[in-house]
Structure 1
């Protein structure tokens, strides 16, 4: 898994067009002053979040994320966006973008269909703090841009669900033409199931055929370069949804025997129990950065039998109980 995000240089151009000082943003974010002059603009998850928090803080415009995520000029689209528009429908475009993220960044684009609703959300795999509101609004606005450009029509979501409160809910509702709910368990944009089948007038099978082999080859190469422990950790985190995964579960998911899994972990100087604890630790920091989750809910999601077991484990990782750690993080974010 790639541990860095590549920031598009044209982000600086659009910020300037919107009257946002790029130097001020970079100073606030604690990023290099020449970041956008670099050939490859790479930042960690912390750096990405700092950048988007700084964008929100550097302007009084509550719609800044929406404006940055709305684009009508095709020449400014990233190649992956152009490839997404070349697919047959909105659902295929989302699948393509999700695959590209899997290839290039420590982020997932997750979509589910249930009871006639199509839900899409973003998950930053190496995040500790909650994702900046401006970033979430940008991501959802970009999805709306792809849907509009691809179909040539206005695709209206059923609703937007946001974890954090907003002072500009009415503005968001006007932009997306749907209800916006805050205090939700996750940040999600919800469409109708049939919206996934909305055909794209921009479909270009010839262009997609030219681009797809390159993306597939890069994905194959990236997969080969992943360390084995990261692969195991990712498989564990996929199963950390209320149950403690066993080594047999993970071996089966990775299509190998339990003995082979143990041997390959030993060759890296690790063990299944160590990787399991690393996965739990990483996810615990992510969950506790989400103020919506109670401690017992986080304990459940991480596969602990009770909250006390979770508290003991967390104290061994961080040197303090989870409640105190959460309050410390909140205090740091306020300062």
Structure 2
């Protein structure tokens, strides 16, 4: 197997992005330790992709991790931050992985939807005898020690949480030089840890791909797959970023004005004013987004009406039915039958 030379790519990429939900991981980590993350790092400089994905420049992510590492005096901060990952920090990818049947399905989604979270070097999965490896090259540049270590620790922690298997990893390779103390890495990963390698690698036994995940849901996975594929395919298509944010908040069961304002780093009053300036309101935006998504979900016969209600952020199926009848003039069940 040939690898790209690190020497030819010894400068960091300058125009790449990571998902804002992923950057939020560091803010959450600092806040949990009594630090004012916003005062320390500044407000998150969120940009919108053409399809409405919230993203942050890779340079900000790298600098923020370096700032936090210096403040806390922890050169292995990437491992400490990565181990606190939750599905919501991986956004749509996280929820898709959460609903996979086994580890093999989950890794396949990570490979396929990787750039929705991390638009730098692509991931690829390779089988080597009775081992499987997830690999990241350096063809688009080096991301930096803390960026790499946070990402690899997050992937490993996520797979541990989903499978319940604490000893997944046989080997981890990093392209960066070895730190002064490799102890935190060896203790966290459990397997062999190598540095100064040509590529970043996570190696696990091939048989582990059959490990079942804790919360599989084939119906929800099909919907999330479709949404992720649509995002990958519509790179040049514009979208209302607020609708995209609300769709995410619905999946998290918190589609509120306060949550939407926080996602945009705005006060509730400022968000209301901005909506008013475009002749809109939060309630109208919420109803519009829910109606659009409801029709999409109802077209999938594998989804029960209770599943649709949950995806739209309703705690009760009856509330969804009343709202849909108000929007369309008929119940969701009747609307679905007409299809």
For Structure 1 versus Structure 2, the TM-score category normalised by the shorter chain is 0.5 to 0.7
Question: Aligned match of 2:30 in 9, 12, 15?
Answer: 15
Question: Aligned match of 2:159 in 147, 166, 170?
Answer: 147
Query: Partner of 2:126 in structure 1?
Result: 112
Deviation (angstroms), 1:98: 2.2
Higher RCO (Cα < 8 Å, 6 or more apart):
2
Query: Partner of 1:34 in structure 2?
Result: 43
Report the TM-score when normalising by structure 1.
0.56
Cα gap change, 1:78 to 1:11, in 2 (>3 Å) = farther
Distance in 2 (alpha carbons) for counterparts of 1:44 and 1:123: 20
Query: Partner of 2:171 in structure 1?
Result: 159
Distance in 1 (alpha carbons) for counterparts of 2:158 and 2:69: 23
Deviations 1:11-44, CA, capped at 9 Å, x for gaps: 3122222355535753xxxxxx322688975333
Cα gap change, 1:13 to 1:195, in 2 (>3 Å) = same
Query: Partner of 1:69 in structure 2?
Result: 82
Query: Partner of 1:259 in structure 2?
Result: none
Q: Where do 1:77-226 residues align within 5 Å? A: 78-103=91-116, 105-107=118-120, 108-123=122-137, 126-127=140-141, 130-163=142-175, 164-222=177-235
Deviations 1:213-263, CA, capped at 9 Å, x for gaps: 1111121212789xxxxxxxxxxxxxxxxxxxxxxxxxxxxxxxxxxxxxx
The SS at the match of 2:178 is coil
CA contact (8 A) 2:93 2:116 kept: no
Distance in 1 (alpha carbons) for counterparts of 2:66 and 2:137: 17
Task: Kindly report structure 1 stretches of 4+ aligned residues shifted beyond 4 Å.
Answer: 36-41, 72-77, 123-126
Q: Where do 1:163-312 residues align within 5 Å? A: 163=175, 164-222=177-235
Report the TM-score when normalising by structure 2.
0.55
Deviation (angstroms), 1:206: 1.6
Q: Gaps spanning 5+ residues in structure 2: where?
A: 1-14, 239-339
Distance in 1 (alpha carbons) for counterparts of 2:32 and 2:45: 15
CA contact (8 A) 1:6 1:41 kept: yes
The SS at the match of 2:125 is strand
The SS at the match of 2:97 is helix
Cα gap change, 1:182 to 1:105, in 2 (>3 Å) = closer
Deviation (angstroms), 1:81: 0.9
Distance in 1 (alpha carbons) for counterparts of 2:55 and 2:87: 24
Deviation (angstroms), 1:166: 1.4
The SS at the match of 1:154 is coil
How many residue pairs were aligned? 216
Query: Partner of 1:320 in structure 2?
Result: none
Deviation (angstroms), 1:76: 5.8
